[in-house]
């Protein structure tokens, strides 16, 4: 970290590389450097602006006209370079098209519409808890997070049982592609073609179970709310956004509880805390850490001039631990007042899937809290490095019955 001298520039300049293995392995010291350098910082390594502060991030997300998503929310600027796949019609789009599409998908993913899924989630969670209590020694990513999500979410969307193992590598590629074309990116893109083909095939109407969430997108084609050519790409959004994010949120939350046994005890004693507990885990160890916006005009942030067509790096992970916004930000506290954290974003692109993500995880953690008295780390927890995600690859645990 170097600070440009005042004679050279009126803004801080940093050599932090938020896509290096060092940063991705332990981003928190870098977050602090970024936040303390200033409200807005120039990243020399990638020639872009960056903020690690909650206020500035929130301001940027509140002004989607000036800070656009349609040039991509990754480091690649779609105004200058070709995207690796046809852009998302939701995430990588702006009003007015975004608004129209989001309204349809918002109805499909609304809390009321999801109510009927709860019983299915409960059956899956109960079965899983039964299995892990029998094993006692588990690896939580492969024994809990992945099998639970790979069952309940694809079932909810309405895709077939075969080939679901493609969902994790696909998500890994989608999220790595928001970063630069480094080793991590290239590794996740190896052999991605058949995976992408499997995904797109499962987005076709004839392959979606009637009554499932995917099929409901096609119902909106019949009513004229969605153009037919948009439907498969909208269903693709479910399969892109709904797996790695929730798998990592479960793994990260279990890591939080295993390393804060008092908080697990508190949840067991008061299951009504499950909602705020999950929100706190997403604040404390945010699965989706990093994204960008692109300026659409000459503007300024905190008095620093930003030219048109510049990429702006936003760190949700850092904003979620900004001491300007949070008391004791580095403390995991399930009773904390959590409203306004950046783990689900903010503004018009704020996470549209959070109702289903929360339903899935609340059902799982409720089932676990009823039956499991303690969760203890039983071996090395390792991270699965991804350019924009924070999540675990392994989490060995010992679980003890109530």
For binding to ligand EJD (CB under 6 A), which residues are involved? 88, 90-91, 174, 236-237, 240-241, 245, 288
Taking the least distance from each CB to ligand EJD, the nearer of 132 and 247 is 247
List the one residue out of 105, 87, 245 whose CA is nearest residue 167.
Answer: 245
Which residue number, 237 or 296, has a Cβ lying nearer to ligand EJD? 237
Smallest gap, in angstroms, from Cβ of residue 347 to ligand EJD? 13
DSSP-derived 3-state class of residue 67: strand
Q: 3-state DSSP call for residue 352?
A: coil
Shortest separation between residue 247's beta carbon and ligand EJD, angstroms: 12
Min separation Cβ 199 and ligand EJD, Å: 10
Residue 124 in contact with residue 147, Cβ under 8 Å?
no
Strand boundaries in 248-395, DSSP class E: 290-295, 299-301, 304-306, 311-315, 372-377, 382-383, 392-394
What SS3 class is residue 203?
A: coil
Of 172 and 295, CB closest to ligand EJD: 172
Q: CB-wise, 245 or 366, nearer to ligand EJD?
A: 245
Smallest distance from the beta carbon of 352 to ligand EJD, in angstroms? 8
Calpha distance 117→232 (Å, rounded): 22
ω into 96 cis (within 30 of 0): yes
* Closer residue to ligand EJD in complex, CB, 12/345: 345
Nearer to ligand EJD, 51 or 263 (CB): 51
CB 251 within 8 A of CB 395: yes
When the beta carbons of 288 and 365 are compared against ligand EJD, the nearer one is 288
* Shortest Å distance, C-beta 345 to ligand EJD: 7
- Write down the least CB distance from residue 397 to ligand EJD, Å: 25
- 314 and 247 Cβ atoms separated by less than 8 Å: no
Per-residue tokens: 149? 């999500």
Q: How far apart are CA 212 and CA 156, in angstroms?
A: 6
Can you tell me the distance from the alpha carbon of 271 to that of 234, in angstroms, rounded to the nearest whole number? 35
Q: How far is the CB of 269 from ligand EJD (least distance, A)?
A: 32
Toward ligand EJD, which CB reaches closer, 57 or 241? 241
377 Cβ neighbours under 8 A, 6+ residues apart = 258, 259, 395, 396, 397
Q: How many residues are given for the chain?
A: 402
d(CA 350, CA 197): 28
Candidates 98, 64, 92; CA nearest to 79 is 92
Smallest separation (angstroms) from ligand EJD to the CB of 71: 15
Residue 117 is classified by DSSP as G
Query: How far apart are CB 237 and ligand EJD at their closest, in Å?
Result: 3
CA distance 291 to 69: 10
Nearer to ligand EJD, 385 or 397 (CB): 385
């Amino acid at each position: 970290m170097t600070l440009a001298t005042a004679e050279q520039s009126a803004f801080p300049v940093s050599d932090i590389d938020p896509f290096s293995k060092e940063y991705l392995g332990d981003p928190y010291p870098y977050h602090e450097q970024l936040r303390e350098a200033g409200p807005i910082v120039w990243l020399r390594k990638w020639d872009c602006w960056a903020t690690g502060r909650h206020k500035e991030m929130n301001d940027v997300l509140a002004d989607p006209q000036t800070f656009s998503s349609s040039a991509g929310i990754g480091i690649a600027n779609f105004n200058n370079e070709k995207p690796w796949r046809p852009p998302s019609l939701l995430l990588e789009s702006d009003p007015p098209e975004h608004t129209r599409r989001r309204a349809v998908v918002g109805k499909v993913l609304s809390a009321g519409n999801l109510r009927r899924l709860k019983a299915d989630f409960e059956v899956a969670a109960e079965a899983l808890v039964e299995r892990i209590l029998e094993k006692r020694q588990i690896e939580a990513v492969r024994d809990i997070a992945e099998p639970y999500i790979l069952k309940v979410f694809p079932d909810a969307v309405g895709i077939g049982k075969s080939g679901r193992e493609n969902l994790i590598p696909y998500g890994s590629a989608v999220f790595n592609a928001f970063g630069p074309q480094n080793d991590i990116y290239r590794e996740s893109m190896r052999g991605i073609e058949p995976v992408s083909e499997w995904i797109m095939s499962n987005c076709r109407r004839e392959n979606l179970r009637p009554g499932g969430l995917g099929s409901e997108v096609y119902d909106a084609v019949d009513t004229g709310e969605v153009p037919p050519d948009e439907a498969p790409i909208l269903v693709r959004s479910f399969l892109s956004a709904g797996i790695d994010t929730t798998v990592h949120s479960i793994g990260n939350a279990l890591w939080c509880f295993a390393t804060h046994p008092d908080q697990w005890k508190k949840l067991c004693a008061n299951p009504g805390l499950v909602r705020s507990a999950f929100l706190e885990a997403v604040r404390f160890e945010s699965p989706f850490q990093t994204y960008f916006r692109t300026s659409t005009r000459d503007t300024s942030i905190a008095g620093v001039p930003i030219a048109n067509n510049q990429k702006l790096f936003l760190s949700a992970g850092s904003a979620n631990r900004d001491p300007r916004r949070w008391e004791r930000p580095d403390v995991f506290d399930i009773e904390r007042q959590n409203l306004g954290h950046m783990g689900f974003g903010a503004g018009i692109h704020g996470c549209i899937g959070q109702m289903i993500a929360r339903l899935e995880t609340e059902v799982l953690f409720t089932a676990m809290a009823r039956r499991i008295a303690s969760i203890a780390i039983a071996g090395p927890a390792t991270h699965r490095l991804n350019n924009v995600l924070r999540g675990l690859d392994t989490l060995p645990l010992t679980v003890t019955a109530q």
